[in-house]
Amino acid sequence: MDEDAGILAALATAQEELATDRLDLCGLIAVAVERAQELTGADRATVDLREGWMAEGRPAPVPPEGELGPRPPLTGALSTECLRTDAPVSCSDTDRDTRVDRRACRRDGIRSIVVVPLRRSGMTTGVLTVTSPVPRAFGPRSVRVLQLLGGLVADAVGRLAAAERHEHLLAEQIQAEERLRELILRDPLTGLPNRAVLRSHLEQALARGTREGTGVGVLFVDLDHFKLVNGTLGHEAGDELLRQVAERIGQVTRTCDLAGRFGGDEFVVICSNVNGIDELVAVTRRLEQTLAAPFQLAAGESAVTASVGVALADATSTAEGLLSQADMAMYRAKSTGRAGHELFSDILIEEATARVTMEASLRRALADAQLSLDYQSIVELRTGRIAGIEALLRWNHPERGPVAPLEFIPTAEESGLIVPVGRWVLQTAFAEVNGWRNPLLAPHPPLHLAVNVSARQLARSDFRDAVRAELEASGIKPGRVWLELTESIFVDASETALDNLRSLRDLGISIAVDDFGTGYSSVKYLRSLPIDAVKIDQTFVFGLPTDPGSVAIVHALAQLGRAFGLLVIAEGIETPEQAAMVAELGCTHGQGYLYGRPADLRQLERQLHSPRS
């Protein structure tokens, strides 16, 4: 009875020790080994766990040999049999048992062995092994005691494995939350803070500036002609450029500043502790200088400039308001030529208010039939014959009277109203000119009709169908139509825009480049795109025939156009001397006040009947 009581006490102690959550796996095995030796009188004991039993398929760690004694040479056949049968396996005398390595057992002084399974919830997780240098050292009582101890060890291992799995899952969850946080707060392409972080940081900077009396400023950076990089070098090159731009911006900002990507090709720099507008401008100039150097991309070298809006906070500034002010200043920098910066001022608010008012008025104009078309003659210089007419949009405001195109066209472009307005121009011009019958023109081929098209119209996937629909509705032949586009359109032209050009050309419509020489003249687009004519801007014609520089420019542009087999039209001709000069320099057609001012079709008829015509 005393022996049984001692065994029960030892098992109770083992259970208490194994139940503590302070043990790691090595400590757990050490307790199991110590109690197994105590309960059975074994000189050695080991615990072997099945590989992968611990969390996430990792093998259980093996305690150092010095701590728990040498591992017995029997964990092969006896352990395998125990795991297979889920039952204790004994060897009463290793000298007589072929299942063990008898030579190794003699060397290590092992004569008796017992292996019991570690079972928990119907699952065997490993084995507990004891050895003795005495034959037949372990009887049924010892085996039963080892089974009870094995159950306690299996429970402890199971709890430890569950805790480890929980910790692993918790660590994975924390990592997932960190990754999600990065996705939420960081731009995935550049790694910079995103728009949400920028707004939050700006709010904090403004609050801190109010408390400490320090200045806060915002730089709104927009890359110029970024679409050109995507269009010529590919979107991967565009992404690489954005990453390099982000890196350069980070190199020139101060430690107290925060740079982030606002979206697309737009970046924002929030400057804290600013001592006035001069310091803000100094940061801006450093940024402009670092962006001016060419970028080395995998697809080739690329140069890029930026338009920067600069806004300095005052006592009433809010985060949203300051960003809006910097944005307005950036758009002013773009509209005044790009590759520079503009400081926010109250004038920009007045201009923005005027644009909003203009947009609302233009919407009413389109709905209330306030728009009309005038036409101006395009003359063949060699014969003096009228070859075509250009449709020019006019707006007669009920209160203001005539509104100049230079006032409302930019608003129409910016607001997107240019799309419905442009559709109205196509519809009206096609219908009016196709129905116009002038007896003076009867002996000659029908006049060409030139209509201006904006970049927004051309970029729409439905533009080609819109033109085809208006051609069919009016009955005008596609061969009579010229679509005029400014040079800058070809710089940022999307694949959709270029596809539209080619499809319209296939219909028989001619394509003309307006204001040729003022933008981004490129031999590449003259060669590769479906262009039929170029129109030399009137600013070059104005100096003729006396200004040598104008003569040289017009001659070069005309020869370039003629080299590609294009019609060359000189705009802004006002005198016979200018007409003679542009013809001598290589122009094929002319347009300007010399041949008549823009007028509606009825007035145009009277011009044609006049003696000069």
How distant, in Å, are the alpha carbons of 483, 525, 537, 559 from that of 587?
A: 19, 20, 12, 8
The pLDDT score that the predictor gives to residue 59 is: 38
The pLDDT score that the predictor gives to residue 74 is: 41
The pLDDT score that the predictor gives to residue 55 is: 34
Report yes or no: 451 and 405 within 8 Å, Cβ to Cβ: no
Q: Can you list the alpha helix ranges (DSSP code H) found in 253-345? A: 277-292, 319-335
Q: Is 534 left (phi over 0), alpha (psi -120 to 50) or beta?
A: beta
Ranked by mean pLDDT, the top range of 33-37, 332-336, 488-492, 503-507 is 503-507
Say whether pLDDT at 79 is over 90.
no
Kindly state the average pLDDT of the residues 256-283.
93
The CA distance from 596 to 612, in Å, is 9
Instruction: List Cβ neighbours of 251 (8 Å cut-off, separation of 6 or more).
Output: 290
Position 279 confidence tier, pLDDT thresholds 50, 70, 90: very high
The pLDDT score that the predictor gives to residue 353 is: 85
Main-chain phi, psi angles of 381, to 5 degrees: -65, -35
Kindly state the average pLDDT of the residues 256-280.
93
Q: Is 274 left (phi over 0), alpha (psi -120 to 50) or beta?
A: beta
Kindly state the average pLDDT of the residues 426-446.
73
The CA distance from 361 to 391, in Å, is 22
The proportion of the chain whose per-residue pLDDT surpasses 70, expressed as a percent, equals 89
Q: What is the β-pairing status of strands 295-297 and 300-302?
A: antiparallel
Tokens at residue 493, please?
């032209």
Strands (E), 332-380: 340-343, 371-380
The pLDDT score that the predictor gives to residue 51 is: 66
The pLDDT score that the predictor gives to residue 73 is: 42
Which residue type does 572 have? G
Tokens at residue 318, please?
């809010």
CA quadruple 546, 552, 555, 557: dihedral sign: negative
Position 99 confidence tier, pLDDT thresholds 50, 70, 90: confident
Position 523 confidence tier, pLDDT thresholds 50, 70, 90: low
Residues in the chain: 613
Task: Please return the burial class of 287, using the count of CB atoms within 10 Å of its CB with bins 0-12, 13-18 and 19+.
Answer: buried
Ranked by mean pLDDT, the top range of 116-130, 333-347, 382-396 is 382-396
- Residue 516 C-alpha from the chain's centroid: 34
The pLDDT score that the predictor gives to residue 438 is: 56
The pLDDT score that the predictor gives to residue 61 is: 42
Which residue type does 34 have? E
The proportion of the chain whose per-residue pLDDT surpasses 90, expressed as a percent, equals 51
The pLDDT score that the predictor gives to residue 519 is: 59
CA-based max dimension of the chain = 141
Kindly state the average pLDDT of the residues 420-447.
78
Cα atoms in the 13 Å half-sphere on the side-chain side of 105: 23
Say whether pLDDT at 405 is over 90.
yes
Position 582 confidence tier, pLDDT thresholds 50, 70, 90: very high
CA quadruple 181, 184, 187, 192: dihedral sign: negative
Tokens at residue 217, please?
């400023």
Q: In the block, which residue shows the tokens 């962006």?
A: 291
Position 70 confidence tier, pLDDT thresholds 50, 70, 90: very low
**pTM over the 0.75 mark:** no
DSSP state, residue 23: -
Kindly state the average pLDDT of the residues 553-582.
94
Kindly state the average pLDDT of the residues 277-295.
92
Kindly state the average pLDDT of the residues 297-310.
90
Ranked by mean pLDDT, the top range of 42-46, 134-138, 179-183, 325-329 is 325-329
Say whether pLDDT at 347 is over 90.
no
- Residue 323 C-alpha from the chain's centroid: 20
The pLDDT score that the predictor gives to residue 439 is: 52
Kindly state the average pLDDT of the residues 107-115.
91
Q: Interior CA angle at 350 toward 287 and 405, to 5°? A: 95
Say whether pLDDT at 58 is over 50.
no
Report yes or no: 523 and 517 within 8 Å, Cβ to Cβ: no
The pLDDT score that the predictor gives to residue 176 is: 67
Say whether pLDDT at 31 is over 70.
yes
The pLDDT score that the predictor gives to residue 151 is: 86
Main-chain phi, psi angles of 445, to 5 degrees: -60, 155
Q: Among candidates 165, 152, 158, which has minimal Cα distance to 58?
A: 165
**Mean pLDDT over all residues of the chain?**
85
The pLDDT score that the predictor gives to residue 262 is: 93
The pLDDT score that the predictor gives to residue 21 is: 67
What pLDDT, in 10s, does the model give residues 135-173? 988 889 889 989 888 888 888 888 887 777 777 777 777
Helix (H) or strand (E) holding 225: none
Ordered domains of the chain (ranges, CATH): 2-166 (3.30.450.40), 195-344 (3.30.70.270), 355-609 (3.20.20.450)
Report yes or no: 59 and 161 within 8 Å, Cβ to Cβ: no
**DSSP-based three-state secondary structure for 370:** coil
Strands (E), 518-593: 533-536, 567-570, 589-590
List the beta bridge partners of residue 343: 310
Ranked by mean pLDDT, the top range of 21-35, 168-182, 564-578 is 564-578
